[in-house]
Amino acid sequence: MTNEQQPTKEPTNESPMAADGVKIETFQLTASPHLRQPESVSHIMMWVVIALLPSLAAGVVFFGPQALLLTVVSVLAAIVTEWAIVKFLKKSAAIGDFSAVVTGVLVAFNVSSTLPWWMAAIGSAFAIGVAKMTFGGLGANFINPALAGRAFLMAAYPSAMTRFSPTTFGSLSGIDGISSATPLAQFKAAMADGSFQALDFQDALSNLFLGNVGGCLGETSALALLAGGILLLYKRIIPLRIPLVYIGTVFLLSWIFNGTGAHFTSSAIIIPFYHILAGGLFLGAFFMATDMVTSPITPAGKIVFAAGCGVLTFLIRKFGGYPEGVSYSILLMNLFVPLIERSTRPKMYGKVKNRD
């Protein structure tokens, strides 16, 4: 041996070789988080935007160009608000991740096509500026920004937010598609005054499925929302547990407590189908309750969260003064996400419980 300094080998990513020349496969140990697939925020949000396009097309078909105008204005307001805030705070802009675009589209989908464009812009600005950026931006907000924007608009402009326009095609069958009242409002009024007729509401199911009914411009077509939801499920962007449990809970409770005194009559069967197709249940279940930031990450937590959303939606629709309950149900359950995750956290393998 000499005292001369031995040359050091540069680190290499190549696997070591055994004595017989066979390559030995090794694992690279790194700190968490561990990404299982090369997905980025912009890639995921882009697919969400694509999944929302069928509903946007349905909104334009049933409510005219005003639906497209409101959506464009809402998206632009969301983008400009986020850009202005990050510019003011001298932070790196993340406009290219499409998250502001998704928020803007969802805000527009939660308003009536008759809403003035400047109100839609204010709702998007509130969603981004208050519900998202105030808490640090994407990944730090604890409530869904789009639903927060809708809640703000409901509080600030209740008259404009509850004024709905007729569809461009009128009624296809059943409940009048040109009525200014939403299907859930008509159902609640019919149950309250005893004028509920099962046949009328049964014929209305086709309208609800296609979207030829009054309501918010992005929630009326269950078919378009279902198509977008299936796309997100296929791309594994959203989990199946949340929309399945959410919609299933509303269906089950609406069937059990249908208000007719029976469970196997035509009326008792029609009512739960009416509840899941009417209103914003599909929009909320597929596109807002599944928000990665504001929903639980644990498998059991997703089920608890979705079931809670379903129970609250049913209670608000059944006993509340407002006919719809999807938005407020998801917002309320967003507040319980930290507690749900803490209670449903999987046990670490081999960990011994401290008995002191």
| 193: Cβ contacts below 8 Å, ≥ 6 apart | none
pLDDT of residue 14: 54
Q: What does the pLDDT look like over 122-141, one tens digit per residue?
A: 999 999 999 999 888 888 89
Calpha distance 95→214 (Å, rounded): 33
Which pLDDT tens digit goes with each residue over 217-244? 998 899 999 999 999 999 999 999 999 9
Return the SS3 of 23.
strand
Is 318:309 a contact under the CB 8 Å cutoff?
Answer: no
User: Residue 319 is encoded by which pair of tokens?
Assistant: 């006993």
Q: What is the pLDDT of residue 149?
A: 96
Rounded Cα distance between 347 and 132, Å, is: 32
pLDDT score of 2 more than 50: no
159-163, 248-252, 264-268: range with highest mean pLDDT = 248-252
What ranges in the chain are assigned the alpha helix state H? 41-63, 65-88, 99-109, 117-126, 145-156, 158-161, 183-193, 198-210, 222-234, 241-256, 266-277, 281-283, 299-319, 326-335, 337-343
What residue has token string 């140990």?
29
Q: What is the predicted pLDDT for the residue at 260?
A: 77
Average pLDDT over the chain reads: 84
Alpha-carbon distance values, 293 to 28, 132, 141, 180, 262 (Å):
29, 11, 7, 35, 41
pTM of the shown model? 0.84
Q: How many CA atoms lie within 13 A of 267 on its CB side?
A: 13
Domain borders along the chain are 41-161, 183-343
Q: d(Cα 295, Cα 289) in Å, to the nearest integer?
A: 7
